[in-house]
Amino acid sequence: MQTCLWQFMAYLQVPLQHSNILWLFHRQMVQQHFNVPVIVDNDANAAALAEHYLGVARHAQDFVYVYAGFGIGGGLFLKGELYRGTHGYAGEIGHTIYQSELFGKPCQCGHRGCWETLANQSAILARVRARLEVGRSSVIPTLMTQQDAPLSLAIVVQAAEQEDAEAIEVLEETGSALGFGIANLISIFDPEMVVVGGPLVSAGKFLLPTIERKVAENATPTIPESAPIRLSAFGADASVIGATALVMDAILLNPTRVEGWSGNRSKELRR
Ligand SMILES: [Zn+2]
């Protein structure tokens, strides 16, 4: 349904930055159909709340959630609640610029050189393809043939599990790119912890050592103790579990007034 709505908005030539209109439209449709309160928020915010209520950040009041999958999203949980920014779009950490427009890869947001172009699932697969195209020896083509499956993150992780040097190096390169960005987040927010969730957690044991090393090397030295990096236990299900956490959050914030709202209206809800 969401894809159809995006296409409809594109047909109407509604700018993507006005996607809160889509949220409100989407929420209203579901609310009218089922006649129940409906809450709409973005996946990374939902996943961050899931970590706060049910996951590895249960006792943290200040943490940054990094959702790493086909893109990179962020949930900023600061002073005990989600921080949404002036217009409700805080946490778009994947679109912070890491390379100049001359050298950076194009990003889905229309810019070049965004962090997520270096450290997302597509970047992993592109690195693998580049290595295979120049004839590097790897078990990955054999796994693809055996499973009659296209190249995927799951196959890269299987290859790494079999100590395939190319797969391990690609995941280390990606861990390095993730680590640079997370070091920046720690320098900006000085959080209690950083939680990494999303599909890339399936490669967590190969990514995490490099992430931690890059954070130790690059986070500002004035912070006396760097925030620990924790992998989410929810993996790719984080946003779905987060949907439950959104309801819990709405009830706990205002038990007497749970009504349909979008993330952009959270301030109104909390009055
Ligand atoms: Zn971008």
* Alpha helices (H) in 162-237, listed in sequence order: 165-189, 204-218
Give the Å distance between the CA of 239 and the centre of ligand 1. Answer: 21
Give the Å distance between the CA of 184 and the centre of ligand 1. Answer: 17
Give the Å distance between the CA of 93 and the centre of ligand 1. Answer: 9
Give the Å distance between the CA of 16 and the centre of ligand 1. Answer: 13
CATH of residue 174's domain is: 3.30.420.40
pLDDT band at residue 126, thresholds of 50, 70 and 90? very high
* Alpha-carbon dihedral 39, 42, 44, 50, rounded to 10 degrees: 10
pLDDT band at residue 5, thresholds of 50, 70 and 90? very low
Residue 18 maps to a domain: no
Identity of the highest mean pLDDT range in 33-42, 184-193, 238-247: 184-193
Residue 116 maps to a domain: yes
Give the Å distance between the CA of 105 and the centre of ligand 1. Answer: 9
Per residue in 205-248, pLDDT (tens digit) is: 999 999 999 999 988 877 767 789 999 988 778 888 888 888 88
Count of structural domains within the chain? 1
Per residue in 151-165, pLDDT (tens digit) is: 999 999 999 999 999
Give the Å distance between the CA of 72 and the centre of ligand 1. Answer: 9
Using the predicted structure, report yes or no on whether residue 96 has a pLDDT greater than 70.
Answer: yes
| Contact predicate 89/44, CB 8 Å | no
Give the Å distance between the CA of 65 and the centre of ligand 1. Answer: 18
Residue 266 maps to a domain: no
pLDDT band at residue 267, thresholds of 50, 70 and 90? very low
Residue 77 structural domain: 41-258
Residue 173 maps to a domain: yes
As a whole number, the mean pLDDT across the chain is 85
